[in-house]
């Protein structure tokens, strides 16, 4: 099941739809009870859950597109839709956080604060448990499918769980501590911190991929080691990598004996490529440049920058 693309897509769709259903339920629950029982923190959390519905919808649309195979117009595949989508998710989170911050600060400045009713505390605890369980399940599926979209969604759920802790503490303090009614409103601002922190982390990861930031150094060390296991390869250098969605593309130079023919060098490079692809399942393709021994000592040649 784990290797079949249709099964992977079905697993992703299931976790996204389940998350969306839970977010819809929690959004209605938090907004309704927050209004009924007078909790600013729950209303803020409800706004956050509403924005989560939008991100779930975006992820649902983007995942199958990102997993489409390469074609003539997209020779490297469509994987970068995942990186682009994760940035869009982050922007929605920033928007939600800004809205919550504005409402919370306005309430505190106006001094229009009252302690929420005890029922609000029960709802906050239900939300906390639900979001933590949803995070763990989504992260497990995201890791199995190696999906940046699902990872972004998972950390979105974890951020919600952390913010629910703040909401729970704020509601509890405002109810049971005399004169601390404003702590419920202050708890809504703590929610903002978790939301913005998650948004920045997700956005930076997406931006790094779009800017061709080099990938896991340990993976490149492994690639070099595999290439050197070939007895015809004397040196490996200039290892480079870039990410397209859940897969990584690698470029590297290998050095072989100077008297090797073009055909022999071609065969060696294919043997090295096949070995790397067999042992590193996260790599989509390997571009290999064959050089004579010690050729790298003369320099790699210019790279056009503009």
User: What's the pLDDT at 115?
Assistant: 63
- DSSP 8-state symbol, 70: P
User: What's the pLDDT at 112?
Assistant: 64
Structure-token match 């299931």, residue found: 14
User: What's the pLDDT at 299?
Assistant: 63
Task: Output the CA torsion 229→233→234→237 (10° steps).
Answer: -90
The H or E element spanning position 141 is helix 119-145
Q: Using CA of residue 162, residue 164, residue 169, residue 174, what is the dihedral sign?
A: positive
Q: Which two tokens stand for residue 125?
A: 């605890």
Q: CB under 8 Å to 116, separation ≥6 — which residues?
A: 34, 37, 38, 39, 40, 41, 42, 171, 174, 175, 184
Q: Which residues pair with 286 in a beta bridge?
A: 250
**pLDDT < 70 positions in the chain:** 1-6, 111-116, 181, 297-306
User: What's the pLDDT at 60?
Assistant: 75
As a whole number of angstroms, the distance between CA 239 and CA 42 comes to 50
Structure-token match 């079905």, residue found: 10
Q: HEC profile for 152-214?
A: HHHHHHHHHHHHHHHHHHHHHHHHHCCCCCCHHHHHHHHHHHHHHHHHHHHHHHHHHHHCCCC
User: What's the pLDDT at 81?
Assistant: 84
Other C-beta atoms lying within 10 Å of the C-beta of residue 4: 10
User: What's the pLDDT at 277?
Assistant: 95
Provide DSSP, 244-288: ETTEEEEEEEEEE-TT--HHHHHHHHHHHHHHHHHH-TTEEEEEE
Domain map (residue ranges) of the chain: 5-210, 217-298
Q: Which CATH number is 217-298 given? A: 3.30.70.1350
Instruction: Give ∠ CA 233-298-264 in degrees, rounded to 5.
Output: 30
Task: Please give the radius of gyration of the chain, using alpha carbons only, rounded to the nearest integer.
Answer: 25
5-210 folds as: Alpha-lytic protease prodomain-like (1.20.1510)
Length of the chain: 306
Q: What is the pTM of this model?
A: 0.65
CB-based burial label for 302 (10 Å; 0-12, 13-18, 19+): exposed
Structure-token match 């004579």, residue found: 292
- pLDDT tens-digit series, residues 63-89: 777 778 778 888 887 878 878 888 887
User: What's the pLDDT at 2?
Assistant: 45
């Amino acid at each position: 099941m784990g290797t079949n693309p249709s099964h992977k897509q079905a697993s992703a769709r299931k976790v996204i739809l389940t998350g969306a259903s839970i977010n819809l339920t929690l959004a209605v629950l938090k907004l309704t009870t927050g209004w009924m029982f007078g909790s600013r923190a729950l209303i803020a959390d409800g706004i956050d859950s509403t924005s989560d519905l939008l991100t779930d919808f975006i992820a649902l649309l983007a995942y199958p597109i990102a997993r489409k195979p390469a074609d003539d117009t997209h020779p490297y595949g469509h994987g970068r839709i995942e990186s682009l989508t994760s940035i869009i998710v982050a922007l929605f989170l920033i928007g939600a956080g800004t809205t919550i911050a504005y409402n919370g600060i306005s309430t505190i400045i106006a001094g229009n604060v009252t302690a929420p009713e005890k029922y609000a505390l029960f709802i906050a605890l239900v939300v906390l448990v639900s979001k933590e369980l949803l995070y763990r399940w989504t992260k497990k599926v995201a890791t199995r499918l190696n999906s940046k979209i699902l990872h972004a969604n998972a950390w979105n759920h974890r951020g919600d769980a952390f913010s629910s802790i703040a909401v729970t503490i704020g509601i509890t303090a405002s109810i049971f501590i005399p004169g601390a009614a404003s702590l419920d409103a202050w708890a809504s601002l703590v929610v903002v911190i978790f939301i913005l922190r998650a948004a920045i982390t997700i956005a930076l990861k997406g931006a790094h991929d779009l800017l061709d930031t080099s990938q896991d150094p340990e993976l490149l060390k492994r690639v070099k080691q595999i290439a050197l296991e070939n007895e015809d390869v004397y040196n490996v250098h200039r290892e480079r990598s870039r990410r397209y969605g859940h897969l990584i593309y690698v470029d590297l130079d290998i050095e072989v004996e100077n008297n090797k023919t073009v055909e022999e060098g071609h065969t060696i490079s294919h043997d090295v490529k096949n070995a790397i692809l067999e042992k590193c399942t996260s790599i989509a393709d390997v571009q290999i440049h064959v050089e004579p021994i010690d050729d790298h000592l003369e320099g790699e040649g210019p790279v056009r920058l503009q």
